[in-house]
Amino acid sequence: MQTSRIIRPVNSIIFICDRAGGTVPHWQKDRQILSTDSCISVACYPEQDGPTKVTLGFAGEVDPGHQADFNGVLKAPNRVLTVQNVPRETLLAMNVTKEIIRVQVWLNSKKWADDVVIGVSES
Amino acid sequence: MRPDAYRFLRSDWRRFTGGRQDPLHQLFERAEHKYRPDQPRVPQGNPGGGQWTGDNSSVGQSDPRIVSDAPDLPTLGSQYAQNRTRGTVSRVLINGQIVEATPGQQARLAVVEAQARDAIRRVQELDPKWQPTPSAYESVEGLIEAHRADARQATGRISELQSAGIGPGPFAGDSIPARGPDRDFVVMERANINRIGSETGCHTCGTMNPGTPLDNFVLDHQPPTAWNPLGRPQRLYPQCLSCSSRQGNWISRNGGRR
């Protein structure tokens, strides 16, 4: 099951992590996606210029058909994967069955992505 | 003492002396009150000729309490006090033990303590739980150095916060009041922030380029909504996209909302 939300996130970034949070990666200039083994940060479309659509679901359901911009594993010790904003409020969430999951992220633009798709694989 | 010695006194000199019994206090008090530029001198040819005298005092009588006729009176008294070996000695409690402090040490201690307190207060307006790393000390000089270390740490923390976009940055110019923490900005607010941004740039890094697809500056709340534990009134400053992203990353890495 996939869920979507149209948002204007504060600071134009979102974080993908376990519901308890994770280790936020250090900021790097001009990098859209940064990650640690427990948190992925994704730069969205600049908030004052327009909204961003964020979709969360299993990879088989949400895969837009082009190569993912990020593909890696993520720790989810509470088995609840969330999308959070800077104040650490949960924007989207989904239950997973494993504590370590594969996460793929697809962006519709290399610089100004206003469509962020997050796919989860548990195998 | 020169007749215009009072000109060299700070208005708050009493903070740095040891009370009415302190000779330094008495000296400064005399400089402040007892002498006037039009005060008469003892006529030449008389004993003590040329010296300043009171209007009704006997000719040549000098004040034995005067301890210095140095041509320049120190403004703060710190250097002067350092060289003094006698005078009022005050006591300071260090590690549960009473340690004697000279008036010079007292004066320097008061200054560095005030500086450290002010710097820490400025940090804690943004980061209330922040405390400097404690220093170990066993003497008055050690205590003075500990206060200096606290002030240095606080200054460093302020710089760190500013570079992360916490607090108005070093390039902050004009700003507009925020109606609240929400981001429901109106056209006039956006226009004003873009105007300010075009004049003074990003308040954090100074760039004139917002780095956004429509060339709009980010309307940055200061203090940041997620980092405003005291609920202080917020203002809006122009910020570039890069600094905004960095600010958000920093806030999240430091625990999110406070």
Q: Tell me the pLDDT tens digit for each residue of B143-193.
A: 999 999 999 999 999 998 988 899 899 999 999 999 999 889 999 999 999
Q: Is the pLDDT of residue B91 over 90?
A: no
Q: What is the pLDDT of residues A17-67, one digit of tens each?
A: 999 999 999 999 989 999 999 999 999 999 999 999 999 999 999 999 999
Residues of A in contact with B207 (CB under 8 A): none
Alpha carbons within 13 angstroms on the beta-carbon side of residue B235 total 14
Cβ–Cβ below 8 Å for A11 and B245: yes
Contact A70, A104 (CB under 8 A): yes
Residue to substitute from B163, B237, B245, interface A, most A β-carbons within 10 A: B245
- All structural domains of chain A, each given as residue ranges with its CATH number in brackets, are 3-121 (2.60.34.30)
Contact A56, A2 (CB under 8 A): yes
Query: Which residues neighbour B36 within 8 Å (Cβ) at sequence distance 6 or greater?
Result: B3
Contact B162, B243 (CB under 8 A): no
Strands of B162-217, DSSP E: 176-177
Residue at B81: amino acid letter = A
Contact B256, A86 (CB under 8 A): yes
Q: State the Rg of chain B over Cα.
A: 28
Tokens of A31: 């990098």
pLDDT in the model for residue B30: 75
B253 touches chain A (CB under 8 A): yes
Q: Is the pLDDT of residue A115 over 90?
A: yes
Band of pLDDT at residue A4, cut at 50, 70 and 90: very high
Residue to substitute from B252, B253, B254, interface A, most A β-carbons within 10 A: B252
B45 touches chain A (CB under 8 A): no
Contact B225, B180 (CB under 8 A): no
Nearest to B81 by CA among B18, B20, B143, B19: B18
B51 touches chain A (CB under 8 A): no
Distance CA B186, CA B240 (A): 19
Q: Is the pLDDT of residue B88 over 80?
A: no
DSSP character at residue B227: G
Phi, psi of A116 (to 5 degrees): -115, 120
Domain spans in chain B, listed from the N-terminal domain onward: 1-78, 92-163, 176-253
pTM of the model: 0.69
Contact A11, B247 (CB under 8 A): yes
Contact B81, B92 (CB under 8 A): no
Residue at B50: amino acid letter = G
pLDDT in the model for residue A70: 97
Q: What is the pLDDT of residues B103-148, one digit of tens each?
A: 888 899 999 999 999 999 988 888 888 899 988 888 899 999 999 9
Phi, psi of B16 (to 5 degrees): -105, 5
Alpha carbons within 13 angstroms on the beta-carbon side of residue A75 total 10
**Mean per-residue pLDDT for A64-75?**
95
Band of pLDDT at residue B15, cut at 50, 70 and 90: confident
Tokens of B45: 């040819």
pLDDT in the model for residue B125: 83
**Which among B216, B225, B245 has CB closest to A48?**
B216
Question: ipTM of the assembly?
Answer: 0.92
DSSP character at residue B243: H
Task: Kindly report which listed range (B59-68, B96-105, B217-226) carries the lowest average pLDDT score.
Answer: B59-68
**Mean per-residue pLDDT for B191-196?**
97
Query: Which residues neighbour B1 within 8 Å (Cβ) at sequence distance 6 or greater?
Result: B27, B30, B31, B35, B52, B66, B68, B69, B70, B73
Contact A41, A15 (CB under 8 A): yes
Does residue B233 have a cis peptide bond before it, meaning omega lies within 30 degrees of 0? no
Dihedral of CA atoms B30, B32, B34, B37 in degrees, nearest 10, equals 130
Q: What percent of chain B has pLDDT over 90?
A: 41
Cβ–Cβ below 8 Å for A46 and B256: no
Distance CA B246, CA B249 (A): 5
**Mean per-residue pLDDT for B208-214?**
95
Q: How many CB atoms lie within 10 A of CB B28?
A: 23
Cβ–Cβ below 8 Å for A88 and B255: yes
Task: Kindly report which listed range (B56-65, B170-179, B209-218) carries the lowest average pLDDT score.
Answer: B56-65
